[in-house]
Amino acid sequence: MKPGKKRHRVQMVTSSVLAVPHLQEHPEHPFQCLDCGKSFKWSSRLAHHQRSHNNERPYRCNLCPKAFKGSSNVHLGLKPYVCTVCTKAFTQSTNLRQHMRIHTGERPYICGECGRSFTHSSHYQYHLRQHTGERPYVCQECGKSFKNSSCLRRHSQLHSGLRPHICPICSKSFSQTSNLKQRKCV
């Protein structure tokens, strides 16, 4: 483990621990993240999930500067999971399942504080931080904290000096896509 990296706790709730409320509620998802409470059917999914807490993206694309939490076929254009309602296609089955909530109206994540509901657990977790003020993603360079990992990742590019987004007109480079999009070359 790299210096300054936070080790994240992982817990497997087993059937021998029947007193654990989590197991009683979700026996089909025994692997639970102790940082956020999300649970998984397989330990490999939990390990993949942990990367969202520590900002780890070990899979680097050899065609562009992007890195991913898991292996990706983003440049191959394969989208084998197709919505039966609107025919929109997805690269991952989980994205199709989340998309289906648009058609069904399902919003399974409900805030106990204000009653607002969400289709995605990540949106719900982010929303909860509006109530608590929690900013769990901390920059190891400067100590600035963020409510989600993507904001930390974007911020970290400022420290790295990487400027992978290049204007096709004037060749000026930017650390963030949003800065490139705001660029108005004449």
CA dihedral for 122, 127, 129, 135, sign (positive or negative): positive
Domains of the chain, earliest start first = 7-54 (3.30.160)
Q: Which two tokens stand for residue 49?
A: 């999930």
Put the strands of the sheet holding 10-12 in their side by side order.
Answer: 10-12, 31-33, 39-40
3-state SS track over the chain:
CCCCCCCCCEEECCCCCCCCHHHHHCCCCCEEECCCCCEECCHHHHHHHHHHHHCCCCEECCCCCCEECCCCCCCCCCCCEECCCCCCEECCHHHHHHHHHHHHCCCCEECCCCCCEECCHHHHHHHHHHHHCCCCEECCCCCCEECCHHHHHHHHHHHHCCCCEECCCCCCEECCHHHHHHCCCC
Q: Is 0.85 topped by the overall pTM?
A: no
pLDDT reported for residue 86? 96
pLDDT reported for residue 7? 41
The pair phi, psi for residue 40, each rounded to 5°, is: -140, 155
Q: What is the pLDDT along the chain (186 residues), one digit of tens a residue?
A: 444 444 434 343 332 222 344 444 556 778 888 877 788 888 888 887 888 777 788 888 888 888 877 776 667 778 889 999 999 999 888 889 999 999 999 999 899 999 999 988 888 888 999 899 999 889 999 999 988 888 888 888 888 888 888 888 888 888 878 888 887 775
C-alpha–C-alpha distance, residues 127 and 113, integer Å: 10
pLDDT reported for residue 73? 67
Q: Which two tokens stand for residue 184?
A: 């108005």
